[in-house]
Amino acid sequence: MASARAMAEDPPPGRGTDTVLAPRAKSKSQRPPLYKVMLLNDDYTPMEFVVHVLERFFGITNQHAVDLMLTVHRKGVAVVGVFSFEIAETKVTQVMDYARRNQHPLQCTMEKE
Share of the chain above pLDDT 90, in %: 72
- In angstroms, the CA 40 to CA 26 distance is 43
Average pLDDT for residues 89-98, to the nearest whole number?
A: 98
- In angstroms, the CA 71 to CA 67 distance is 6
Smallest CA-to-CA distance from 108 within 49, 84, 93, 59 is with 93
Q: Is the dihedral of CA 38, 43, 47, 53 positive or negative?
A: negative
Residues in CB range of 24: below 8 A, 6 or more apart:
none
The domain defined by 46-112 carries CATH number 3.30.1390.10: yes
Q: Where are the domains of the chain?
A: 46-112
pLDDT digits (tens, 9 = 90+) for 82-91: 999 999 999 9
- In angstroms, the CA 30 to CA 26 distance is 12
pTM of structure:
0.74
